[in-house]
Structures are given as C-alpha cells and as structure tokens.
Structure 1
C-alpha cells in the first residue's frame, strides 16, 4: 500500500469511524461484552418491557485493580404510557434491542495515553432501560400491555451483582454518568457511597446532567411539568433525597439537580456546558414554545442566531452559573468544569475528554481537571468565558 492509499484510508476511517483515529494517532477500539443481571428478577428489577437489566464490565489491572468507575448510560426519559410503550420497544427500554458489545472510550478507555487517570480501573457502563434515570418503582398493566418502572431496583440489582466481583472491597471508586445518566448520578451518589468500605475514597461526577428548572421562551415551566408527570407515573418521589423532599414545598423539584445538590454529602464534580444543546432545544426553546419556528435556524447553527436570540442564550448561561454559585464559592471538596461549547456529554467521547484538540479552559482539558479533582492534586473549578470566546470548543451545532 503506497503513502497516498494510507492517507485516503485514514481519512475514510476518521469520517466514518472517528473512534479509530484521532489527533493522538490510531486507537484500537475497546469492545466490551454485555452482562445480564441474572438475579435481577428476585428483586423485581426489570427493564420497561420485562427484560433483564445489564451492564458492561472491563476489568482493571495493576495499580487500578481495586479501583472502580461506574458510568450510567444516558438517553432521555418517558413521562406517559405512550412514550414509555414506544421506549420499551427500543434500545432505551429493553436489553433485547441493545448492542451486546459497547465501545469504551474517553473516561472508559483502557489506554493510558487517552485516559491517564482511570485507564487501569475496573470500568462499568450501566445500561439504561427504565426511562426515569434509574429512580422509579412502579408498574403499569391495562390488561394487554405491561410496563415495569423499576429503575431504582435496577440500580440496586446491578450494585449487588458487582459487589462480590470486587466492588465490595474497592479502595477508590467514582460514580459517573452522561445526560439522563448524569442526572442519575445526583440521585444515587450518596447511596453508592453507602455500599462501599468506610475507608474507600468515593466521589461522583455528572456529565451534562445539571438540568435547570428554567422557564422556556414562552415563560412556561415545560421541563418542570414534564418531570412532574414522569415522577407521578414511575413512582419516583419516595426515592428522591429525603432531606431535600422534606424541605421543599414541592418535593418533586428534588429531581432537579440544583435542588438536590446541597444535600449530597459525597464529593461531587459537575461537568456541563453552559449552552447545553439538549437544554437549549428542550428546556429553553422546546417546540411548544416556538410554534412559528423562529428559532429553527439558530438551533441548527449557532452562527445563525440573531442578537436577541444570543441574548436569551447568554441569560440561560447566567442562570446556570447562578444556580451553581454556592457550589462554586462554598465548597472546597467539590469540582466543576463549565465550558461554553454548544454540546452535550463530553466524558465518553475521546475527542472531548483527552486529545490534542480537546476543549480547554485555562489550557486544561476535561480529563486533567477531573483527575486533579479526584486525586486532590489541584483546585479544580473551571468556568469558561461566554460564547463565542472559546476557540477550543467542539460544537454539536
């Protein structure tokens, strides 16, 4: 094969299989097989359609053999019977439809060059099949269709399955998650700590999970209403932080991270974009708030946003930073990385986690900042300047 052929091959790989080639050179994919939790039925822990829950485990080695990283998978939610029935027939509601092998990259990579602090830990990806961020405990049956809302039991079944596999004597551990999985990290952080040895170093990381309780552009609480329906349908409220629910007049608000965060006792790291694309499209400007579709071009391309739209987006960023003010100012054990990229989830993608061209704040990558925080090497609270100043971003739109 000549030089030109090699260049063309690498270009094709970069376009169609970007995990194989990045700025560090060629990286072989790490594919990890699925493990079904065979004992889950004893706990009544089922996916929406009644299938068994699952996870993917890649064993640690060397100095990381007794350290554990658990990563919740994301994938939105369902808040009514129709959407949950539809979900039950997809890879987000049934292990029957899931890929049996998952690519581990970014924070899940086993390559020290791409994941310097956690590459040799035991790394687990927890598959998402309940539609309520692993927090529901109910079921629905109308004579023909059965739906299991058993996210809380799925979480417990997976933990109990992992404890005898080494998690029970972990020396270091971190619970993390992306999107709806990032929200699950807020909901289960302290519970995770309760399963582990008292002398273990246990911390939690949420990636793109800090969903704001924000009015949309039509001044409606669209996301709050969505979560209310979800909580009622899936029986979530008893599984929310009891210190939070006993304090707030509306207990269901404790599903929002900004209200649950003050009651979390375990050290916590928040990784989020101040212009999170999911929140931009579904919380700030949901379709119901823009019937004439004035925002369509802006949603597809941020450079097409007019001055008024950019001002609203800057207001959303300000509200996120305000919601995080106490967390930023008053906590010495916690960490954060709030950048100004139009993106969603940055820890599982190699290009955004740790690579030559990764996003940076004060010249620090996400992986470096998270590692400094976990191992207490440095103060790890980074807030980016407002859009469009950051030239290192990997924008999704």
Structure 2
C-alpha cells in the first residue's frame, strides 16, 4: 500500500508542476492525461519519468482503480469512402500521449460474394455493413486493452480500431449507387491512415497493422500497400504486420454443398466470386505470380512468399472458421475428427517456412482480442512474449521471404563482379535490401545507436529488474517460430476450453481421443500399462504422456 501512495504522489507532483493537463472526455466519466514532455524536464530525464508513469499505471491498477479510457468513435474526413450501405466509415481511437507506437486493428467478420449472399448478410449481420449502429465508445480487449495485467506489453500504445463494414476482406475499391452495396475496405484503411497522420502518426516510431479473421486476411492483403503509403507520408515510421486467424486453406470441403450461403460456401468459390464483385485490390507481386487466378492471393500461404513487409502470423492449427468453411458440421463422428486432424496437418505444413508464427494445436478461432491472448503458450513461450520480442527486433533480425530472395541475387551479383567466388559475402537478414553505400552507412549508424541505447538501459536498470522484462534469459525466450508439435486438437494445455456441441459440457483431450474412435485399451497398450492403472490416472498427467508420445 505504501508503494501505491508513493507512486500516486509522483503523479500528483507532475500535475502540480504542469507536466500533465487533464481533459475531460465523453467516455463515461474518464479523463485523458496529456503529457507535456518539455515541462517534465525540470523533474529529470523525460524518458525515465515516462517509464515511471507506466509503473504508476500498473501500481494504481493494483491499488484498486479499474477505470480505463475507452476508444472513441471518429468518422472519416473523406465522406466519399463509405460502408456497404453508403454510411460514413470511420474508426475508434485511444491516444497514449508520450508513446510513439501505434496499433491499427482491422475487425473481422467473414464476407459476402454476390447479391444473394450480401442481401442475406444485410438481414442477419447488418452491423457489419453499416455504421448506423456504432456506439460512441468501445472497450479494447486483448492486445487493445488498457489494462496492464491483460495487456502487459502494449497497454500504453496508441490504439486504433477500424470496424468492419465493407464485407470484402478489406480489399474492395468500388463505390456503387445507393440502390446497391459499395465495397471499399482497402480505401477505408488508406483514409484512416491519412486522417491519423496529423494526429501524431507522422512522428511515430512504429506502426503495427493488426487484424483477426477477415481482418487478418486484410492485414496480409494490405500490408505492403500500407508500408508504401507510410513511406510517402511518414518515411521514418517502421511498419509491421500482425495477422491473426486469417491464414486460410484453399482445400476441398468435407461435404461439398452448393455455393449459396457465405459460411457454407467453399472458400475458393466464395473468393473467386467476391474478388470481381468487390474489385478487390491484390498486391502486384502476388498478382504477377497468379496472373490467371489472382483470387489465390487471398490464401495466406500463397500470399506470404511475395510480401516485402515483416509480418507475424497467429494461427490455430485447427481453426474453427476453416472447419466451418469446409462444411464439417458439429464434430461428433470419427470421420469428422479425422478430417479435422488432416486440416491441422495441412495447416502445419503451410506454416513451416514462415519466419514469425505462433500456431497452437487448438480448436478455436481468434486470439489477439481475447483476454487470454497473453496466457496461451507454445513450448513455454506465450504469444504476448513472442510478439513483443519479434517486433522489438532490429531490421537485421527480421526476415521477409521476397526480400531474402532479392538479397540472395544481390549477393550472387557481388561475388560474380568481385571475381572472388570462394570468398564469403556476409548477407544481412533484414527486411530492407542493403545494396548501396548510403544504406550501409545508415545500417552502421543504427547499429551504433542500438549499442548506445543498450548501454544506457544497462546503467538505468543496474541493480533492478524491470517488470516488463522477459527475464534474464530473454534472448533464449525470444522465439518467434512456434508451432505445436503434438498432432491432436486441444493437446496444448493452454488452449481455450472446448465444449461438446450437444451437451455444452467442457471436453478435455481424452474426451477428444474417444471421439476420434480410440478405445481405452489401445491407449493403455501404447503407453505400456494395464487398464486399471490407465483408468485411475489423472487426465492432465495422461495428456502429458500422450502428447510426448505423438
């Protein structure tokens, strides 16, 4: 309690010295605290004070204050860019004054692909096609939460949430007359960024374009375009992507059905029809690779090798949306579980060459905006830890497939021109090709700056361990190629609980094995024990033994 009082005293001191200005907002009684960095200088190093304020936020939370500022609704300046029904598109924003990191999040919500499916969507999912029902404020969850316990690494970031109202996987570019639907998802993203530039995005250090489900697909489809836009409007800002549950397979359905309803239509057929309806914007590098079938680019494993901008993939191996699109139905038969098992294997294969990926063996959908997002782990590393380590990495540590390919060509050309075939050319593992003297000088300058900042942090943290630190072995924990090795749905202890579709009771891993058709005696034989011992064994212990066997 004394700690709480001490930190709150620091907060009050800042208010009294003019370092903070309180401005009342219409978010239910909360207030935004605007920090004037210049007025904080007499108190000491502004960076150290900001670090202390972050600790204040955490400590005040523990002291019992649970009110956090909400995201506030803002409509686009450009009124010609709209939702499906012609109403104004927009976004929700919560500023974190003093933070130079921005997260722009794309909401998910499937899509429609022709007039019939869009009319049905209008009847059943109208909130995903209009802004008329948007509330004035919205509460952030998961990676968008202001709660440092729920969101330990990103709670003090500038948050922007873009509601999904274009039904086009964020790729549409057509404005239609009032009697038909418009599809302008790609243009909405562009206009949001333009509106954010004068609000502080222009001086940001990093922009993370994130999204879940259709929003995750939208990240993959728009990431390079956003990076190019930022290179024109704010060239010093680094752009990164974070795609959650948007990595779909263009596989065969379990039970093929006519393509009428969006949720039961085969993914390939729905996208093939939709890309024409939406006038979908496909990145040029991918379009060149699939000239006759540009709709293939909507599937992550086909798009990924063509990307130029670093992206982190979050994907359940047994994604519920994928299984729904494959028309599996409630999985209660042995054949259905076998198909789901095959889907997981195929998903795992497509993710092997992804440099930054988090793929737990769970039967679920969407993780980033769930409160348990920072508790789910693969190989002892949580998603929150892995993303934080990855996005803080230097350009030399991040890798992008298309750039790696181009760097190899540069390396080959350098060796050939130098005539030193036997000589080894040191190749960077960066996202930006290094082929000019100016680029090399910039690279060396950045390296010196990192070393200087590292020494400064060591001096500042000498004798104490920061709460946001990943620990003494942070480099060892900083892994970002995390794919579960176990082969069955829900074999990961940290998976969200699964429920029986008929009884609504929680199902554990052993229940799932029974659904696969495995009898108790075969499990006992595989583990080399008698039936009585197996049946009396704790399910968690048994699960651990089985997952080690797979």
Q: Which residue of 2 aligns with 1:73?
A: 107
Shift of 1:316: 0.4
Which sits farther off after the overlay, 241-250 or 127-136?
241-250
Deviation at 1:107, TM superposition (A): 0.3
| Alignment partners' CA distance in 2, 1:163 and 1:215 | 43
Deviations 1:5-53 (A, max 9, x none): xxxxxxxxxxxxxxxxxxxx9955653221111x222xx3111111111
Query: Relative contact order: is structure 1 or structure 2 higher (C-alpha 8 Å, sep ≥ 6)?
Result: 1
Given the alignment, which residue of 107, 124, 130 partners 2:160?
124
Aligned to 1:33: 72
Find the counterpart in structure 1 of residue 237 from structure 2: 200
- Residue in 2 aligned with 1:341? 362
Measured in 2, the distance between the counterparts of 1:121 and 1:60 equals: 6
Q: Residue 91 of structure 1: SS of its match in structure 2?
A: helix
Tell me which of 390, 393, 396 is aligned to 1:373: 390
- Distance in 2 of aligned mates of 1:104 and 1:185: 19
Whether contact under 8 Å (1:66, 1:171) holds in the other structure is: yes
Q: Which residue of 1 aligns with 2:84?
A: 48
Equivalents in 2 of 1:226, 1:188: separation in Å? 20
Give the SS at the match of 1:125. Answer: strand
Distance 1:166 1:98, change over 3 A: same
The answer to whether 1:241 aligns with 2:283 is yes
Q: 2:496 & 2:66 partners in 1: Cα distance?
A: 20
Q: Distance in 1 between matches of 2:333 and 2:286?
A: 40
Cross-structure match for 1:393: 495
Who is 2:346 aligned against?
319
TM-score scaled by structure 1?
A: 0.80
Q: CA deviation at 1:138?
A: 2.1
Name 2:216's counterpart in structure 1: 182
CA contact (8 A) 1:205 1:269 kept: yes
Contact 1:254 1:260 in 2 (8 A): yes
Matched, 1:57 2:93: yes
- The corresponding residue for 1:275 is 318
Query: Could you tell me which of 249, 257, 267 is aligned with 2:300?
Result: 257
Q: How many angstroms apart in 2 are the aligned matches of 1:149 and 1:171?
A: 32
Matched, 1:224 2:262: no
Please, which runs of 5 or more residues in structure 2 have no aligned partner?
1-63, 258-264, 394-474, 500-550
Deviates more, 1:193-202 or 1:108-117: 193-202
After superposition, what is the alpha-carbon deviation per residue over 1:267-298, rounded to whole angstroms, capped at 9, x for unaligned? 1100010111111112x226xxxxxxxx43x1
Contact 2:319 2:364 in 1 (8 A): yes
Instruction: Measure how far apart 1:219 and its partner are.
Output: 6.2
Deviation, 1:396, is: 5.1
The answer to whether the 8 A contact 2:256-2:327 is kept is no
Confirm or deny: 8 A CA contact 2:351 2:357 kept in the other structure.
no
Secondary structure class of the residue paired with 2:96: coil
- Per the alignment, in what secondary structure is the counterpart of residue 343 of structure 2? helix
Conserved? CA contact 1:346–1:353, under 8 Å: yes
Structure 1 unaligned blocks of 5 or more = 1-24, 287-294, 299-304, 328-333
Task: Measure, in 1, the Cα distance between the counterparts of 2:306 and 2:153.
Answer: 28
Q: For the Cα contact (< 8 Å) 2:96–2:158, is it kept in 1?
A: yes
2:190–2:226: 8 Å Cα contact kept in structure 1?
no
Partner of 2:251: 214
Name the SS for the 2:132 alignment partner. helix
Structure 1 or 2, whichever has the larger Rg, is 2
Task: Quote the Cα distance in structure 2 between the aligned partners of 1:180 and 1:30.
Answer: 27
Corresponding residue of 2:136: 100
Most deviating of 244-253 and 219-228: 219-228
| Distance in 1 of aligned mates of 2:69 and 2:198 | 24
Alignment match of 2:148 (pick from 101, 112, 137): 112
TM-score of the aligned structures, taking structure 2 as reference length: 0.58
**1:256 Cα deviation after fit:** 1.6
Give the aligned CA root-mean-square deviation in angstroms: 2.1
| Greater mean alpha carbon deviation, residues 272-281 or residues 114-123 | 114-123
1:49/1:88 contact within 8 Å kept: no
8 A Cα contact 1:139 1:234, kept in partner: no
- Say yes or no: does 1:360 pair with 2:377: yes
Which has the higher mean CA deviation after the structures are superposed, 80-89 or 360-369? 80-89
More helix by share: 2
| 1:133 partnered with 2:164 | no
Equivalent pairs, count: 338
The answer for the alignment partner of 2:437 in structure 1 is: none
1:183–1:278 distance in 2 versus 1, CA, 3 Å = same
